[in-house]
Structure 1
Protein backbone atom coordinates (compact mmCIF):
# COMPACT_ATOMS: atom_id res chain seq x y z
CA UNK A 1 0.00 0.00 0.00
CA UNK A 2 1.30 3.40 -0.96
CA UNK A 3 -0.41 6.72 -0.48
CA UNK A 4 -1.02 8.73 -3.62
CA UNK A 5 0.82 11.74 -2.30
CA UNK A 6 3.95 9.75 -1.58
CA UNK A 7 3.83 8.17 -5.04
CA UNK A 8 3.45 11.65 -6.43
CA UNK A 9 6.44 12.82 -4.38
CA UNK A 10 8.53 9.94 -5.67
CA UNK A 11 7.45 10.78 -9.21
CA UNK A 12 8.66 14.33 -8.66
CA UNK A 13 11.97 12.97 -7.40
CA UNK A 14 12.19 10.84 -10.51
CA UNK A 15 11.54 13.84 -12.76
CA UNK A 16 14.12 15.94 -10.91
CA UNK A 17 16.69 13.18 -11.22
CA UNK A 18 15.99 12.96 -14.93
CA UNK A 19 16.36 16.70 -15.34
CA UNK A 20 19.58 16.68 -13.36
CA UNK A 21 21.06 13.84 -15.38
CA UNK A 22 20.18 15.64 -18.60
CA UNK A 23 21.82 18.95 -17.67
CA UNK A 24 25.02 18.06 -19.46
CA UNK A 25 23.27 16.49 -22.46
CA UNK A 26 22.52 18.66 -25.46
CA UNK A 27 18.81 18.61 -26.24
CA UNK A 28 19.41 20.10 -29.72
CA UNK A 29 22.47 18.39 -31.25
CA UNK A 30 24.42 20.41 -33.81
CA UNK A 31 24.26 19.30 -37.41
CA UNK A 32 28.04 19.52 -37.35
CA UNK A 33 28.29 16.89 -34.60
CA UNK A 34 28.97 13.28 -35.49
CA UNK A 35 25.67 11.40 -35.71
CA UNK A 36 26.96 8.64 -33.42
CA UNK A 37 27.00 11.16 -30.54
CA UNK A 38 23.22 11.60 -30.74
CA UNK A 39 21.83 9.22 -28.11
CA UNK A 40 18.15 8.80 -27.26
CA UNK A 41 17.48 9.27 -23.52
CA UNK A 42 15.05 6.62 -22.22
CA UNK A 43 13.74 7.08 -18.65
CA UNK A 44 14.40 4.13 -16.36
CA UNK A 45 11.01 3.47 -14.76
CA UNK A 46 12.55 0.48 -13.04
CA UNK A 47 14.31 2.86 -10.64
CA UNK A 48 10.96 4.45 -9.76
CA UNK A 49 9.46 1.05 -8.93
CA UNK A 50 12.52 0.17 -6.89
CA UNK A 51 12.13 3.39 -4.87
CA UNK A 52 8.53 2.48 -4.05
CA UNK A 53 9.59 -0.98 -2.96
CA UNK A 54 12.32 0.58 -0.84
CA UNK A 55 9.68 2.82 0.76
CA UNK A 56 7.71 -0.28 1.73
CA UNK A 57 10.80 -1.69 3.43
CA UNK A 58 11.46 1.58 5.27
CA UNK A 59 7.87 1.62 6.51
CA UNK A 60 8.20 -1.94 7.79
CA UNK A 61 11.33 -0.97 9.70
CA UNK A 62 9.58 2.03 11.25
CA UNK A 63 6.45 0.03 12.02
CA UNK A 64 8.55 -2.50 13.92
CA UNK A 65 9.62 0.33 16.25
CA UNK A 66 6.08 1.65 16.84
CA UNK A 67 4.92 -0.45 19.77
CA UNK A 68 1.46 -0.15 21.33
CA UNK A 69 1.42 0.45 25.08
CA UNK A 70 -0.87 -2.44 25.98
CA UNK A 71 -1.60 -2.96 29.68
CA UNK A 72 -2.10 -6.62 30.51
CA UNK A 73 -3.72 -8.22 33.53
CA UNK A 74 -4.58 -11.70 34.76
CA UNK A 75 -8.30 -12.37 35.14
CA UNK A 76 -9.28 -15.03 37.68
CA UNK A 77 -12.40 -16.99 36.74
CA UNK A 78 -14.11 -19.73 38.74
CA UNK A 79 -16.08 -22.35 36.82
CA UNK A 80 -17.63 -25.31 38.64
CA UNK A 81 -15.25 -24.98 41.58
CA UNK A 82 -12.25 -24.78 39.28
CA UNK A 83 -10.14 -21.64 39.05
CA UNK A 84 -8.70 -20.42 35.78
CA UNK A 85 -6.34 -17.54 35.03
CA UNK A 86 -6.72 -15.73 31.71
CA UNK A 87 -4.51 -12.98 30.31
CA UNK A 88 -6.50 -9.95 29.15
CA UNK A 89 -5.89 -6.42 27.94
CA UNK A 90 -7.16 -3.50 30.02
CA UNK A 91 -9.02 -1.06 27.76
CA UNK A 92 -10.16 1.50 30.35
CA UNK A 93 -11.23 1.85 33.96
CA UNK A 94 -13.96 3.50 36.00
CA UNK A 95 -13.77 5.29 39.35
CA UNK A 96 -9.98 5.24 39.54
CA UNK A 97 -9.54 1.53 39.05
CA UNK A 98 -12.61 0.11 40.79
CA UNK A 99 -13.94 -1.45 37.57
CA UNK A 100 -12.19 -2.36 34.34
CA UNK A 101 -13.16 -2.87 30.74
CA UNK A 102 -11.11 -5.86 29.58
CA UNK A 103 -10.88 -7.95 26.44
CA UNK A 104 -8.97 -10.65 24.64
CA UNK A 105 -9.69 -12.88 21.67
CA UNK A 106 -12.71 -14.42 23.40
CA UNK A 107 -14.18 -11.88 25.83
CA UNK A 108 -15.02 -8.16 25.96
CA UNK A 109 -16.51 -7.35 29.38
CA UNK A 110 -16.41 -5.15 32.48
CA UNK A 111 -15.18 -6.68 35.75
CA UNK A 112 -14.49 -5.58 39.32
CA UNK A 113 -10.88 -4.88 40.27
CA UNK A 114 -10.86 -7.81 42.73
CA UNK A 115 -10.94 -10.18 39.77
CA UNK A 116 -7.80 -8.75 38.17
CA UNK A 117 -4.11 -8.85 38.84
CA UNK A 118 -2.49 -6.07 36.85
CA UNK A 119 0.96 -6.73 35.45
CA UNK A 120 2.89 -3.65 36.55
CA UNK A 121 5.62 -2.28 34.30
CA UNK A 122 5.56 1.43 35.02
CA UNK A 123 9.33 1.83 35.37
CA UNK A 124 10.17 0.45 31.92
CA UNK A 125 12.62 2.83 30.16
CA UNK A 126 11.27 4.91 27.29
CA UNK A 127 11.85 3.70 23.76
CA UNK A 128 14.43 5.58 21.70
CA UNK A 129 12.77 8.48 19.85
CA UNK A 130 12.36 8.29 16.10
CA UNK A 131 13.60 10.98 13.68
CA UNK A 132 10.92 13.48 12.69
CA UNK A 133 11.06 12.46 9.03
CA UNK A 134 10.33 8.85 10.03
CA UNK A 135 7.23 9.96 11.91
CA UNK A 136 6.02 11.98 8.93
CA UNK A 137 6.56 9.03 6.61
CA UNK A 138 4.77 6.70 9.03
CA UNK A 139 1.67 8.87 9.46
CA UNK A 140 1.36 9.60 5.75
CA UNK A 141 1.97 6.00 4.74
CA UNK A 142 -0.96 5.00 6.97
CA UNK A 143 -3.14 7.57 5.17
CA UNK A 144 -4.08 9.46 8.33
CA UNK A 145 -7.47 11.15 8.15
CA UNK A 146 -8.87 14.09 10.12
CA UNK A 147 -11.93 16.31 9.70
CA UNK A 148 -9.71 19.32 10.38
CA UNK A 149 -6.34 20.34 9.01
CA UNK A 150 -4.51 18.78 11.99
CA UNK A 151 -3.82 15.28 13.27
CA UNK A 152 -2.60 14.34 16.77
CA UNK A 153 -0.53 11.26 17.51
CA UNK A 154 0.25 10.27 21.11
CA UNK A 155 3.05 7.73 21.40
CA UNK A 156 2.60 6.24 24.87
CA UNK A 157 5.75 4.13 24.67
CA UNK A 158 7.78 7.29 24.15
CA UNK A 159 5.45 9.55 26.18
CA UNK A 160 5.26 12.15 23.42
CA UNK A 161 2.52 14.14 21.67
CA UNK A 162 3.06 14.86 17.97
CA UNK A 163 1.07 17.43 16.00
CA UNK A 164 0.80 17.13 12.22
CA UNK A 165 -0.61 19.70 9.83
CA UNK A 166 -2.05 18.86 6.42
CA UNK A 167 -0.56 20.78 3.52
CA UNK A 168 -1.70 19.79 0.02
CA UNK A 169 -2.56 16.28 1.15
CA UNK A 170 0.64 15.62 3.11
CA UNK A 171 0.91 15.74 6.91
CA UNK A 172 3.94 17.65 8.15
CA UNK A 173 5.13 17.42 11.76
CA UNK A 174 4.84 20.93 13.22
CA UNK A 175 5.01 20.41 17.00
CA UNK A 176 6.00 17.78 19.55
CA UNK A 177 5.62 17.82 23.33
CA UNK A 178 6.54 15.46 26.18
CA UNK A 179 3.58 14.10 28.09
CA UNK A 180 2.63 11.86 31.02
CA UNK A 181 0.01 9.13 30.68
CA UNK A 182 -2.02 7.01 33.08
CA UNK A 183 -0.63 4.54 35.58
CA UNK A 184 -1.12 0.88 34.76
CA UNK A 185 -3.89 0.75 37.37
CA UNK A 186 -5.62 3.69 35.64
CA UNK A 187 -4.36 3.41 32.06
CA UNK A 188 -4.77 5.90 29.27
CA UNK A 189 -7.37 4.70 26.79
CA UNK A 190 -5.83 3.82 23.43
CA UNK A 191 -7.35 4.04 19.97
CA UNK A 192 -8.54 6.50 17.32
CA UNK A 193 -10.78 9.29 18.59
CA UNK A 194 -11.79 12.85 17.79
CA UNK A 195 -11.49 15.93 19.98
CA UNK A 196 -15.07 16.25 21.22
CA UNK A 197 -14.80 19.41 23.27
CA UNK A 198 -12.30 21.70 24.95
CA UNK A 199 -12.10 24.35 27.63
CA UNK A 200 -9.73 26.67 29.51
CA UNK A 201 -9.88 24.97 32.94
CA UNK A 202 -11.62 22.25 34.94
CA UNK A 203 -11.82 21.79 38.71
CA UNK A 204 -11.69 18.72 40.94
CA UNK A 205 -12.80 20.26 44.19
CA UNK A 206 -13.00 16.89 45.95
CA UNK A 207 -9.26 16.47 45.49
CA UNK A 208 -8.44 20.19 45.66
CA UNK A 209 -6.82 20.64 42.27
CA UNK A 210 -7.51 22.01 38.80
CA UNK A 211 -6.05 21.56 35.32
CA UNK A 212 -5.82 24.06 32.51
CA UNK A 213 -6.46 23.86 28.76
CA UNK A 214 -8.26 20.55 28.41
CA UNK A 215 -9.21 18.69 25.24
CA UNK A 216 -11.74 15.88 25.67
CA UNK A 217 -11.35 12.89 23.36
CA UNK A 218 -13.25 9.97 24.92
CA UNK A 219 -15.62 10.08 27.88
CA UNK A 220 -13.60 10.84 31.01
CA UNK A 221 -10.30 10.93 29.09
CA UNK A 222 -8.77 14.35 28.50
CA UNK A 223 -5.55 15.91 27.37
CA UNK A 224 -4.67 18.79 29.71
CA UNK A 225 -2.00 20.60 31.73
CA UNK A 226 -0.29 19.24 34.81
CA UNK A 227 -2.41 19.68 37.97
CA UNK A 228 -2.46 22.88 40.01
CA UNK A 229 -3.85 23.64 43.44
CA UNK A 230 -7.13 25.54 43.54
CA UNK A 231 -5.21 28.73 44.34
CA UNK A 232 -3.05 28.30 41.24
CA UNK A 233 0.13 26.74 42.62
CA UNK A 234 1.63 23.82 40.71
CA UNK A 235 1.34 20.55 42.62
CA UNK A 236 4.27 18.20 42.96
CA UNK A 237 3.94 16.53 46.33
CA UNK A 238 1.36 13.76 46.32
CA UNK A 239 2.13 10.78 44.11
CA UNK A 240 -1.33 10.93 42.57
CA UNK A 241 -0.60 14.47 41.40
CA UNK A 242 2.98 13.97 40.30
CA UNK A 243 3.85 16.55 37.64
CA UNK A 244 6.76 14.65 36.09
CA UNK A 245 6.80 14.30 32.32
CA UNK A 246 7.34 11.12 30.31
CA UNK A 247 6.16 8.87 33.12
CA UNK A 248 2.97 6.97 33.90
CA UNK A 249 1.60 9.07 36.74
CA UNK A 250 -1.95 10.18 35.94
CA UNK A 251 -5.39 8.72 36.58
CA UNK A 252 -5.79 8.07 32.86
CA UNK A 253 -5.68 11.50 31.26
CA UNK A 254 -2.76 12.68 29.14
CA UNK A 255 -0.85 15.52 30.81
CA UNK A 256 1.57 17.98 29.33
CA UNK A 257 3.25 21.15 30.56
CA UNK A 258 0.96 24.16 30.76
CA UNK A 259 2.52 26.10 27.88
CA UNK A 260 2.12 23.07 25.63
CA UNK A 261 -1.44 22.47 26.79
CA UNK A 262 -2.20 26.11 26.02
CA UNK A 263 -0.75 25.77 22.52
CA UNK A 264 -2.92 22.71 21.86
CA UNK A 265 -6.00 24.44 23.26
CA UNK A 266 -5.47 27.50 21.06
CA UNK A 267 -4.48 25.69 17.87
CA UNK A 268 -6.35 22.38 17.77
CA UNK A 269 -10.01 22.50 16.78
CA UNK A 270 -12.75 20.14 17.87
CA UNK A 271 -13.31 17.25 15.44
CA UNK A 272 -9.54 16.84 15.04
CA UNK A 273 -8.48 13.19 14.98
CA UNK A 274 -6.27 11.98 17.82
CA UNK A 275 -4.56 8.59 17.71
CA UNK A 276 -3.44 7.36 21.13
CA UNK A 277 -1.08 4.42 20.73
Structure 2
Protein backbone atom coordinates (compact mmCIF):
# COMPACT_ATOMS: atom_id res chain seq x y z
CA UNK A 1 0.00 0.00 0.00
CA UNK A 2 2.88 2.40 0.61
CA UNK A 3 3.11 5.03 -2.15
CA UNK A 4 -0.20 3.94 -3.69
CA UNK A 5 -1.87 7.18 -2.72
CA UNK A 6 -0.86 10.84 -3.03
CA UNK A 7 -2.42 13.79 -1.24
CA UNK A 8 -2.01 17.37 -2.44
CA UNK A 9 -2.71 19.73 0.46
CA UNK A 10 -4.96 22.73 -0.12
CA UNK A 11 -4.52 22.50 -3.87
CA UNK A 12 -7.67 21.99 -5.82
CA UNK A 13 -6.56 20.35 -9.02
CA UNK A 14 -8.66 20.23 -12.16
CA UNK A 15 -6.57 17.42 -13.64
CA UNK A 16 -7.87 13.86 -13.31
CA UNK A 17 -4.45 12.22 -13.29
CA UNK A 18 -1.00 12.48 -11.73
CA UNK A 19 2.12 10.77 -13.14
CA UNK A 20 5.13 9.68 -11.05
CA UNK A 21 8.44 8.20 -12.15
CA UNK A 22 9.40 5.37 -9.80
CA UNK A 23 13.13 5.13 -10.49
CA UNK A 24 13.71 2.09 -8.25
CA UNK A 25 11.01 0.00 -9.94
CA UNK A 26 11.62 1.40 -13.46
CA UNK A 27 7.92 2.23 -13.67
CA UNK A 28 5.89 5.24 -14.71
CA UNK A 29 3.02 5.20 -12.22
CA UNK A 30 -0.39 6.61 -13.11
CA UNK A 31 -2.63 7.96 -10.36
CA UNK A 32 -6.27 8.94 -10.83
CA UNK A 33 -8.19 11.46 -8.79
CA UNK A 34 -10.06 9.69 -5.98
CA UNK A 35 -12.60 10.70 -3.39
CA UNK A 36 -12.04 11.05 0.35
CA UNK A 37 -12.89 7.39 0.94
CA UNK A 38 -9.58 6.35 -0.65
CA UNK A 39 -7.80 8.41 1.99
CA UNK A 40 -9.84 6.93 4.85
CA UNK A 41 -9.26 3.41 3.48
CA UNK A 42 -5.46 3.83 3.68
CA UNK A 43 -4.90 6.15 6.65
CA UNK A 44 -6.28 6.83 10.13
CA UNK A 45 -8.18 10.09 9.70
CA UNK A 46 -10.45 11.69 12.30
CA UNK A 47 -14.18 11.45 11.58
CA UNK A 48 -14.71 15.21 11.22
CA UNK A 49 -11.93 15.56 8.59
CA UNK A 50 -13.17 17.36 5.47
CA UNK A 51 -11.25 16.12 2.41
CA UNK A 52 -12.63 18.76 0.01
CA UNK A 53 -9.60 21.00 0.62
CA UNK A 54 -7.30 18.26 -0.66
CA UNK A 55 -6.80 16.54 -3.96
CA UNK A 56 -6.38 12.81 -3.53
CA UNK A 57 -4.96 10.49 -6.18
CA UNK A 58 -4.93 6.69 -6.12
CA UNK A 59 -2.58 4.52 -8.22
CA UNK A 60 -4.39 2.80 -11.09
CA UNK A 61 -1.63 1.73 -13.48
CA UNK A 62 2.11 1.04 -13.73
CA UNK A 63 4.01 1.20 -17.00
CA UNK A 64 7.50 -0.28 -17.38
CA UNK A 65 9.84 2.47 -18.54
CA UNK A 66 13.39 3.53 -19.18
CA UNK A 67 14.74 6.90 -18.05
CA UNK A 68 17.98 8.87 -18.24
CA UNK A 69 21.36 7.20 -17.94
CA UNK A 70 23.94 8.42 -15.45
CA UNK A 71 25.66 10.50 -18.17
CA UNK A 72 22.34 12.05 -19.27
CA UNK A 73 19.93 11.88 -16.32
CA UNK A 74 16.23 12.58 -16.17
CA UNK A 75 15.77 15.72 -14.03
CA UNK A 76 14.28 15.52 -10.55
CA UNK A 77 11.34 17.77 -9.78
CA UNK A 78 7.64 18.41 -10.15
CA UNK A 79 6.56 19.42 -13.63
CA UNK A 80 3.36 19.74 -15.67
CA UNK A 81 2.75 18.29 -19.13
CA UNK A 82 3.23 21.32 -21.38
CA UNK A 83 2.40 19.75 -24.75
CA UNK A 84 1.26 16.48 -26.23
CA UNK A 85 1.20 15.07 -29.72
CA UNK A 86 -1.51 13.33 -31.60
CA UNK A 87 -1.48 9.54 -31.35
CA UNK A 88 1.32 8.16 -33.58
CA UNK A 89 2.56 11.66 -34.51
CA UNK A 90 6.24 11.42 -35.38
CA UNK A 91 9.04 13.38 -33.75
CA UNK A 92 12.61 13.53 -35.05
CA UNK A 93 15.32 13.69 -32.39
CA UNK A 94 19.07 14.19 -32.50
CA UNK A 95 19.70 12.94 -28.96
CA UNK A 96 21.02 9.46 -29.66
CA UNK A 97 24.60 8.31 -29.06
CA UNK A 98 24.82 6.07 -32.14
CA UNK A 99 22.48 7.64 -34.74
CA UNK A 100 22.34 11.24 -35.88
CA UNK A 101 18.55 11.27 -36.30
CA UNK A 102 15.94 8.95 -34.84
CA UNK A 103 12.15 9.01 -34.58
CA UNK A 104 9.49 8.12 -32.10
CA UNK A 105 5.73 8.13 -32.56
CA UNK A 106 3.63 9.86 -29.92
CA UNK A 107 4.88 11.97 -27.02
CA UNK A 108 4.11 14.20 -24.07
CA UNK A 109 6.50 17.06 -23.28
CA UNK A 110 7.38 17.30 -19.59
CA UNK A 111 10.05 19.98 -19.55
CA UNK A 112 11.94 21.59 -22.40
CA UNK A 113 13.47 18.65 -24.37
CA UNK A 114 12.36 16.00 -21.85
CA UNK A 115 9.54 13.82 -23.11
CA UNK A 116 7.52 10.74 -22.31
CA UNK A 117 7.63 8.85 -25.60
CA UNK A 118 7.61 5.47 -27.35
CA UNK A 119 10.40 3.25 -28.73
CA UNK A 120 12.97 4.70 -31.12
CA UNK A 121 13.14 4.06 -34.86
CA UNK A 122 15.44 5.01 -37.74
CA UNK A 123 14.45 8.31 -39.35
CA UNK A 124 13.39 6.59 -42.61
CA UNK A 125 10.53 4.80 -40.77
CA UNK A 126 7.15 6.52 -41.16
CA UNK A 127 3.94 6.59 -39.17
CA UNK A 128 2.54 4.11 -41.70
CA UNK A 129 5.45 1.65 -41.42
CA UNK A 130 6.73 1.84 -37.83
CA UNK A 131 4.45 -0.94 -36.54
CA UNK A 132 6.21 -3.37 -38.91
CA UNK A 133 9.71 -1.94 -38.30
CA UNK A 134 12.12 -3.12 -35.63
CA UNK A 135 12.81 -0.44 -33.01
CA UNK A 136 16.47 0.51 -32.65
CA UNK A 137 15.92 0.91 -28.91
CA UNK A 138 15.49 -2.80 -28.12
CA UNK A 139 18.05 -3.73 -25.50
CA UNK A 140 18.59 -0.17 -24.24
CA UNK A 141 19.07 0.17 -20.49
CA UNK A 142 18.56 3.93 -20.30
CA UNK A 143 17.73 7.04 -22.30
CA UNK A 144 19.25 10.44 -23.02
CA UNK A 145 16.96 11.84 -20.28
CA UNK A 146 13.45 11.19 -21.55
CA UNK A 147 11.04 8.61 -20.16
CA UNK A 148 10.42 5.81 -22.67
CA UNK A 149 7.35 3.57 -22.51
CA UNK A 150 5.83 1.08 -24.96
CA UNK A 151 3.85 2.31 -27.95
CA UNK A 152 0.68 0.90 -26.41
CA UNK A 153 1.32 2.82 -23.18
CA UNK A 154 2.16 6.10 -24.89
CA UNK A 155 -1.09 5.80 -26.83
CA UNK A 156 -3.00 5.25 -23.56
CA UNK A 157 -1.30 8.33 -22.09
CA UNK A 158 -2.16 10.44 -25.13
CA UNK A 159 -5.80 9.39 -24.94
CA UNK A 160 -6.14 9.99 -21.18
CA UNK A 161 -3.59 12.55 -19.97
CA UNK A 162 -4.20 16.25 -20.56
CA UNK A 163 -1.81 19.18 -20.88
CA UNK A 164 -1.35 20.54 -17.35
CA UNK A 165 -1.20 17.12 -15.67
CA UNK A 166 1.43 17.03 -12.91
CA UNK A 167 4.46 14.74 -13.32
CA UNK A 168 6.67 13.92 -10.33
CA UNK A 169 10.18 12.96 -11.46
TM-score (norm: length of structure 2): 0.71
Unaligned runs of 5+ in 2: 36-54
Matched-pair contact (CA < 8 Å) for 1:198–1:215: yes
1:235 Cα deviation from its structure 2 partner? 2.5
Spell out structure 1 runs of 4+ moving beyond 6 A: none
Q: Secondary structure at the match of 2:155?
A: helix
The correspondence for 2:57, drawn from 171, 190, 194, is 171
1:219 and 2:105 equivalent? no
Distance 1:202 1:173, change over 3 A: same
Name the larger-Rg structure.
Answer: 1
**Residue 22 of structure 2: aligned partner:** 155
Matches within 5 A, 1:41-190: 133-137=1-5, 139-140=6-7, 143=9, 146-168=13-35, 169-190=55-76
* TM-align CA RMSD: 2.2
Q: Is the CA contact 1:202–1:212 (under 8 Å) kept in the aligned structure 2? A: yes
CA distance in structure 2 between the partners assigned to 1:144 and 1:220 by the alignment: 31
Specify whether residues 152 and 144 from structure 1 end up closer, same or farther in structure 2 by C-alpha distance, changes over 3 A only: farther
Contact kept in structure 2, 1:192 and 1:275, CA below 8 Å: yes
Count of paired positions:
135
Task: Provide, for residues 120-151 of structure 1, a one-character-per-residue CA deviation record: whole Å limited to 9, x for no partner.
Answer: xxxxxxxxxxxxx32224x23x6496441110
Partners of 1:134 and 1:268 in 2: CA distance: 24
Q: How high is the TM-score relative to the length of structure 1?
A: 0.45
SS of match in other structure, 2:106: strand
Higher share in helix: 1
1:227 and 1:180 map into 2 onto residues whose CA distance is 12
